[in-house]
Amino acid sequence: MYLYNTLTRKIEQFNPLNPPLVTYYTCGPTVYDYTHIGHMRTYINNDLLKRTLNYLGYRVKHVMNITNVGHLTGDDDRGEDKLEKGAKTQGKTVWEVAKFFTNYFFKTMDQLNVTKPDVICRATDHIQPMIQLINQLKRKGFIYETKEAIYFDTSKFKNYGKLNPQKKQEKMTGAREEVYIDPQKKHPADFALWFKLVRRFKNHTMRWHSPWGDGFPGWHIECSAMSMKYLGETIDIHAGGVDHVAVHHQNEIAQSEATTDKPFVRYWFHNEFLLVEGKKMSKSLNNFYTLEDIEKRKIEPLALRYLFLQSHYRKLLNFTWEAAKAAQDAYRKLTEIVLSTKKQIQRQTLSLEKLDKVDQYRQRFIRAITDDLQIPQALAIMWETVKSNIPSSDKYDLIADFDQIFGLKLSEAKEQTIPKSVIKLAEERQSARQKKDFKKADQLRKKLRDLGYQIEDRENRFKIRPLAIDRRP
């Protein structure tokens, strides 16, 4: 397996510390708002990596955190706590907001067939390990205290910024543009490990006792504390969106490695962004699409998953409704083919030549997925397999095998039942045609279309096909 490692900026051979075990941490959601397509893409790509490793025979131990405290609206200590802000605008308690959006997140993941992590851990359940970690950093001289917070002193950590050296330069020399900064903070790159309940946080509802007075943890410390608690001081893979490279992951490395003097993560896996109709997602464009928005346009969750499989995780993906509809069509077509292949299955003895062909498809598939997760290529190989002349039983086996990674539930495809009323309308149309009443036939055809069915004429017979997409204007 070869993977791109953000740390070295190279594609490297993947060698876990203790094979077949792979320790895998994915940065989880901050649960103050709806899960949108940007998140969906990230977690689907994280899932593809996990499924690939499992497919290759590794045993992945997967941990994901749920951020329900300390994540400010600016990643670098600016602004207010996202949960507190969400609670204020929605007129709920922070705990209600966290619970609601945690459930929403997992419901979305479930519909996208994203496998559940082995351990799901909430920040608020791990305040003690975070305090312990801060204490260890204190003993080693990496922190300082101001009237408002406890900070990690980045000038004491010589490798600060190694994940993204360019960004480090910007941060080091960039003007202080923070809307609010603690006047006692020594350096813009320093980051809060613990916030005290003063000034902007005077009325913060989530609060705990600590050696530095009552307060709440900064965002970054939770991932170090939980990763170490469940997976050990050095782990194999840590995954997240590219938006985490510059600040969050930089800070995770600093506080973890300053504590343990060991590498925190061996392979950093980052997903590229997603654009919507060529533009960045933003409040003003109102394009933070949720799964409900997608389904309203008659696109199934798994068709969205299919869409995401078509682009490599390190490439910018431009989401358009046109592409989504095309993905829905392709996904529907694929499930139809799988279903008819399943019906044709007869176990036959294979000729050597065909056996060879079956092997070749599998070999090429494995080559694609192990080449820095070339899922789009793997998908193309599946389509080749689907269209090939290998016996249907082997074809079906291969598709089911490949789908362990794709996660499209292809072997669960079911035939759609067509309502009797629809069949009746189609028959009426058929008899109108036979009587050469084409006007009536066309009207009925349009009616069927409005109901979501397509009529395909085949000589004297007709076929009713549920429309994948609503094409009504």
> Cβ of residue 25: shortest distance to Zn ion, in angstroms?
7
The answer to whether the CB of 49 falls within 8 A of the CB of 373 is: yes
CB-wise, 220 or 433, nearer to Zn ion?
220
Give the residue with the Cβ less far from Zn ion, 117 or 240: 240
| Nearest residue to 102 (alpha-carbon basis) of 28, 1, 31 | 31
Q: Least distance (Å) from Zn ion to the CB of residue 271? A: 11
- Using the rule CB under 5 A, is 223 a contact of Zn ion? yes
CB of 458 to Zn ion, least distance (A): 55
Nearer to Zn ion, 223 or 444 (CB): 223
> Which lies closer to Zn ion via its Cβ, residue 55 or residue 273?
273
E strands, 59-105, are 59-66
Q: Closer to Zn ion by CB, 16 or 240: give it.
A: 240
Binding mask 14-53 for Zn ion (x = CB under 5 A): -------------x--------------------------
Please report how close the Cβ of residue 239 comes to Zn ion at its closest, in angstroms.
Answer: 7
Using CA atoms, how far apart are residues 146 and 53, in angstroms rounded to an integer? 45
What is the closest distance, in whole angstroms, from the C-beta atom of residue 170 to Zn ion in the complex? 21
State the binding string over 227-266 for Zn ion (x if CB under 5 A, else -).
-------------x--------------------------
Residue 118 or 457 with smaller CB distance to Zn ion: 118
If DSSP states are collapsed to H, E and C, what string results for 119-171? EEEEHHHCHHHHHHHHHHHHHCCCEEECCCEEEECHHHCCCCCCCCHHHHHHH
Residue 114 as a binder of Zn ion (CB under 5 A): the answer is no
Grouping H, G, I as helix, E, B as strand and the rest as coil, residue 400 is: helix
The Cα 56–Cα 50 span in angstroms is 10
Work out how close the CB of 27 gets to Zn ion at its nearest, in angstroms, rounded to a whole number.
3
Pairing of strands 215-217, 191-196: antiparallel
Where are the alpha helices (H) located in 301-343, listed in sequence order? 301-309, 321-343
Q: Is the distance from CB of 216 to CB of 194 less than 8 angstroms?
A: yes
Residue identified by tokens 């990763």 is 227
63 binds Zn ion (CB under 5 A): no
Number of residues that bind Zn ion (CB under 5 A): 3
Task: Give me the residues that bind Zn ion (CB under 5 A), please.
Answer: 27, 223, 240
